[in-house]
Amino acid sequence: MPVGTRTLCKLISRLLFQKPLSRHDRERSLRTTVTGLQYLGRVLGIDRDFARIYTNHEWAGSTHPWDPKSTSNFRTSRDSRKFTGKRPAPGTFYAISIQPERSPVQYPENDWIIASDSARGKIIAALAEPPLQEYPAQIAFYDRRRQGDASAVPEEWVTGPPPEDDSQTPVVILRPPRSVTKRDFGAWLQAVAGLPSAPARRAAGAFIIAELTPFQAMTYSDFFQRVRLNAQHTLQLFLVAEDWAVCCLSRDTTKPYRLAPNLAMAQSFLDGADHTLGCTAALLARILRRADSRIFWLDKAGQPKLSDVFVHGRISWSETNERPRDFPGSIDGYLDLTQALVDPDCYRACRRALRRCLALFPALEPLTTDVLVESLIRRCRPRTVPAWRRATPVKESGGGRLRVRHVQHGASLPYPS
């Protein structure tokens, strides 16, 4: 059908954000099959945000997701007297309005499993165990949170030899930064599963993307379900939100090059019922705690960095009216938290650990003793909990300290040996 200049914008607006329009041959390159505009459309569709397109005196705009059959979102000013004799601005312009929803995030029940009391209890029990001294042999953990991008895929996954047997196939855990590009994810998928034009040199048994915000988690879930992988892949992909909601995407039975939600596997990951996975939510919690402990206590060279704010040795605590009855008269070492959190990495590590911990106790109201800890709490409240129920207040002595009943192990950042 010939396309006139007056209907070009209308036609494009019906395809944009819906179809994979691209000037690149995506089937024969290492690019993902999801285009940037498709990805942007899905992000805007989560909170029904607005976008407008202008080209050649024509406008198309609507809230997302766009209805490709709608004609009410198209306007033209070509015949308006106001624009008579005026040349249109060259090119195409996009105007995007993002207004985050104020209501709590709701995970799609067809894709996500929310941690039950039983599942949270198992994670809490795991955090009560001694801290990990080393990552398990089957785990390949890559922390990209401090690097600011996830583009650097480890060399062993790009040029390294394939494993001799399936027993050497590891579980890959990636903690990404807050902003990840489609190309970054494409590089990781090529490494652990393979893309249509390039099989993976060595495949991962499971690929876990951990500690995502709810918005990130739902956006990535939709993205990965649209990506085309190598048809021979056997990848189990897990998305784990910072509030312990889990989505598992497995090989689609009807379209083997696609990923589809697997609720049973997500539930098994939370419950720890399937030990063949090589990792569970409880083990992941211990791995993340070890990672943040090292960030908190050690510099990037692995050397202690808080020697000037941590007092080693036996510290006597004088009798005061504020001291709880069950508090011992002395403690082994004292950390000046106010000074320690001046370091941005220490602050962020503490905030992440506290957020993971508080998500395990949605029925408790944390009570703070000073402004510093209160500022941490405000940034750590779970974002998917509609309301917090008040618990019995627990008093605590000492500056810069927090106590929530039975939470000490989860929030702690033990000193790495």
Which of the pair, 195 or 393, is modelled with greater confidence? 195
- Count CB neighbours of 60 within 10 A: 23
pTM attached to this predicted model: 0.70
pLDDT at 323: 57
Is residue 59 scored above 80 in pLDDT?
no
Q: Which of 208-217, 272-281, 400-409 has the lowest mean pLDDT?
A: 400-409
How many angstroms separate the CA atoms of 404 and 18, rounded? Answer: 47
- Cα-based distances in Å from 218 to 14, 214, 398: 24, 6, 40
Provide the 8-state DSSP code for 83.
Answer: G
Is pLDDT larger for residue 203 or for residue 347? Answer: 347
CB atoms within 10 A of CB 158: 13
Please give the full DSSP string across 250-277, using - where no structure is assigned: EE-SS-TTSEEE-HHHHHHHHHT--GGG
Report, in this order, helix, strand and coil percent for the chain, each rounded to 5.
30, 20, 50
On the question of pLDDT at 209 being above 50, the answer is yes
Is the omega angle on the peptide bond into residue 65 within 30 degrees of 0, that is, cis? yes
- pLDDT tens digit sequence for 365-410: 887 777 777 877 877 765 543 333 333 333 333 333 333 333 333 3
pLDDT in tens, 101-131: 555 678 889 999 999 999 999 999 999 999 9
**Orientation of helix 117-127 relative to helix 281-297, angle to 10°:** 40
Cβ atoms of 397 and 320 closer than 8 Å: yes
Percent residues over pLDDT 90 in the chain:
22
Residue pair 105/214 in contact (Cβ under 8 Å)? The answer is yes
Confidence of residue 415 (pLDDT cuts 50, 70, 90): very low
Please say if the pLDDT value at position 362 is more than 90.
no
In the block, tokens 């992909």 appear at: 237
pLDDT of residue 178: 83
- Could you tell me whether strands 139-143 and 171-175 are parallel, antiparallel, or unpaired per DSSP bridges? parallel
Residue range 294-337, pLDDT digits in tens: 999 988 888 888 888 888 888 776 655 555 566 666 778 888 88
Q: What ranges in 262-343 are assigned the alpha helix state H?
A: 263-271, 281-297, 337-340
Residue 399 has what pLDDT? 37
Which range, of 12-16, 27-31, 257-261, 410-414, averages the lowest pLDDT?
Answer: 410-414
Other beta carbons within 10 Å of 11:
14
The runs of H, that is alpha helices, within 272-415 are 281-297, 337-340, 344-359, 371-380, 408-411
55 Rama class: left (phi>0) / alpha (psi -120 to 50) / beta: beta
d(CA 305, CA 342): 12
If pLDDT is split at 50, 70 and 90, which confidence band does 291 have?
very high
pLDDT band at 202 (very low <50, low <70, confident <90, very high): confident
Q: Which residue has the higher pLDDT, 169 or 39?
A: 39
Half-sphere exposure of 112 (CA within 13 A, CB side): 24
* Measured CA distances, 296 to 134, 242, 257, 347, 355 (Å): 16, 19, 41, 8, 15
Whole-number Å distance between alpha carbons of 88 and 65: 28
Q: What are the structure tokens assigned to 245, written together? A: 């909601």
Which distant-in-sequence residues (6+ apart) come within 8 Å of 14 by Cβ?
A: 66, 68, 69
Is residue 166 pLDDT above 60, yes or no? no
Classified as helix, coil or strand, 214 is helix
- Which range has highest mean pLDDT (60-69, 189-198, 277-286, 403-412)? 277-286
Contact 257, 123 (CB under 8 A): no
Instruction: Tell me the CA end-to-end span of the chain in Å, nearest whole number.
Output: 71
Q: What is the pLDDT of residues 139-152, one digit of tens each?
A: 989 998 887 777 77
- Cα 285–Cα 289–Cα 291 angle in degrees, nearest 5: 120
Residues 225-249: what's their mean pLDDT?
A: 90
Residue partners of 396: CB distance under 8 A and separation at least 6: 324, 369, 402, 403
Label residue 249 by pLDDT band (50, 70, 90): very high
Nearest to 135 by CA among 299, 279, 284, 287: 287
Strands (E), 118-166: 139-143
Q: Tell me what the pLDDT averaged over the chain comes to.
A: 76
* pLDDT mean over 79-96: 71
